[in-house]
Amino acid sequence: MKIAVASDHGAFELKQKIVAYLQQKQGVEVLDLGTNNENESVDYPDFAGKAAISIQKGEANLAVIMCGTGIGISIAANKYKGIRAALCHDAYTAQMSKQHNNANILVMGGRTTGIEIAKQMIDTWLVTEYENGRHQLRLDKISEIERSQ
């Protein structure tokens, strides 16, 4: 499984720790999309786009993205067709994002999420299966909105 990881400067430190954590997981290949400098201010929509496009093109199966709070980067990522980026705060919200919403991008805040909680979210998210069924009807409605725009 290939996982893209991206952040702006506000989440650089957390991104670096997550990249290292994911690289230790067997069967996971990490695509580090930057940023690679915590001292240079960058724009989170650019990094949301890199992650979203990597999924759209099949270069990554999933992504983990971050900005200071996770809010801006999640809004930006969700503008891309077929992307379901979920801002999560703990293992339960990460589980529900995959189980009910089939989220293909896990979002967290670099200034609001500690590394241990981030690890718990990632581990839970990666093993959680999408339930399909009644949830697919809702995702189909989201896809219809994307097609109508």
- Starting at the edge strand that comes first in sequence, how are the strands of the sheet with 85-87 ordered? 29-32, 2-7, 62-67, 105-109, 85-87
pLDDT at 133: 83
Domains in the chain, number: 1
pLDDT single digits (tens) 129-149: 999 888 999 999 999 998 998
Give the SS3 label for residue 70. coil
Q: What does pLDDT average to over the chain?
A: 96
- Which of 67, 88, 89, 135 is catalytic? The answer is 67
Active site residue 67: yes
Pick 37 or 75 by higher pLDDT: 75
Report the CATH number that the domain containing residue 92 is assigned in CATH: 3.40.1400.10
C-alpha span between 102 and 104 (Å, rounded): 6
pLDDT at 38: 86
pLDDT at 146: 87
pLDDT single digits (tens) 107-123: 999 999 999 999 999 99
Residue 73 near residue 8, CB atoms below 8 Å = yes
pLDDT at 83: 97
Q: Which residue range(s) make up the domain with 40?
A: 2-148
pLDDT single digits (tens) 37-71: 889 999 999 999 999 999 999 999 999 999 999 99
38 bridge partner residues: none
For 1-149, list the strands marked E by DSSP: 2-7, 29-32, 62-67, 85-87, 105-109
